[in-house]
Amino acid sequence: MLIKAGVLFPGQGAQYAGMGIDFYEKSTAARSVFNQAEAVLGKDFLDTIFCGPEEKLQQTENTQPAILAVSVAIYRDLESRGMNSSAMAGLSLGEYSALVSAGALSFEEALPLVQKRGIYMQEAVPAGKGKMIAIMGLAHEKVEEICREAQEIGLVTPANYNCPGQIVISGEVAAVERVRELAGEAGSKRSSELKVSAPFHCSLLQSAEEKMAVELESVKIKRPKVPIVSNVSAWFTDDPEQIKHNLIKQVSNPIMWEQSIRNMIAEGIDHFVGVGPGNSPARMMKRIDSAKKTIAVEKMDDVEKIKESGN
């Protein structure tokens, strides 16, 4: 079993009906997590995760707790097999998965918290007013320049600094589409719209950030068992008050994912495990540093990859 890995959790957009079901069926540790989720959010919640329909799963208030539950369930299975971690990071929503997995935030408290987070983020921007698009094949600095140019017609800013040659932009529809057009003219290889229901990580989400600040006032954050790398600072922290502050700020500020990973590497972490639905953290890891061993654990069969790694 891989020991002392950097553990990476996915964010919104990784969801699909049926995710995590093999862990529910075959892992006692994972099933315990799903049973806790059912006790907190009801049987219909598990039905939505395992059976859909996709339209219901795609609703932000369902998506966020669903990804949290699946990610934590998979991590608990790996933990029961002897895996330890030296640091954790999660992409946006995934930061909550990291905090729960590291013992800083209780799972029962995190589920309704991220459900409210999803509702607040959705309510912050009327449907159809905003969107997010991933731009591939341009330097971050070039996309930042294009965003500044497109702001003549509306708000648009970088939202996720994912990896070299990939940055997500967020904002008002017309401005985001203008960036897509200008990026194509500048040589972007392609662009793709994210499966999200609001333009996250930009100033349009300020009202959601304010509501999350109120919610987090009454939430107990403990010192995590391993350091968490914050999305907004790209740096390690185990201070509960700083963690809470970072969770508030990440709602309307960009996610510094690439720099987060580079800082983990700089601190000596050279093995990574992506834990949760989809394999986006592992894919981006290979773009950031392909020399680092990276394993994605999404299905029960993937657990064998860790055993076979010989670490």
CATH 3.30.70.250 fits 130-196, yes or no: yes
In 3-state terms, what secondary structure has residue 121?
Answer: helix
Can 92 be counted among the known catalytic residues?
yes
Q: Which residues contact 219 (CB under 8 A, 6 or more apart)?
A: 105, 109, 113, 244
Distance, CA of 268 to CA of 248 (rounded, Å): 29
CA dist., res. 162 & res. 39, Å (int): 35
Q: How big is the chain, counted in residues?
A: 311
N-terminal to C-terminal alpha carbon distance within the chain: 6
Of 174, 169, 164, the closest CA to residue 135 belongs to 169
Q: What is the pTM of this model?
A: 0.94
Distances (CA, A) of 87 to 120, 127, 155, 293: 29, 37, 35, 15
Q: pLDDT digit string (tens) for 250-279?
A: 999 999 999 999 999 999 998 999 999 998
Beta bridge mates, 5:
85
Cα–Cα dist 33/67, whole Å: 12
Give CA–CA dist 12/212, Å, rounded: 17
Q: Which residues pair with 272 in a beta bridge?
A: 6, 294
Q: Catalytic residue among 201, 233, 271, 280, which?
A: 201
> Where exactly are the structural domains of the chain?
5-124+204-308, 130-196
108 within 8 A of 36, measured Cβ to Cβ: yes
Does residue 1 have a pLDDT over 70?
A: no
Is 242:99 a contact under the CB 8 Å cutoff? no
Amino acid at 145: E
CATH topology of domain 5-124+204-308: Malonyl-Coenzyme A Acyl Carrier Protein; domain 2 (3.40.366)
For 183, other C-beta atoms within 10 Å of its C-beta total 25
Out of 92, 101, 191, 252, which one is annotated catalytic? 92
What are the tens digits of pLDDT across the range 122-162?
A: 899 998 899 999 999 999 999 999 999 999 999 999 999 99
pLDDT of residue 184: 96
- Asked if 32 contacts 301 with a C-beta cutoff of 8 angstroms, the reply is no
pLDDT one-digit tens code per residue, 158-216:
999 999 999 999 999 999 999 999 999 999 989 999 877 789 999 999 999 999 999 99
Beta strands in the chain (DSSP E): 5-9, 85-90, 130-136, 156-163, 166-172, 190-193, 228-229, 236-237, 271-275, 293-297
Q: How many CA atoms lie within 13 A of 294 on its CB side?
A: 20
Q: What is the pLDDT of residues 47-92, one digit of tens each?
A: 999 999 999 998 889 999 999 999 999 999 999 999 889 999 999 9
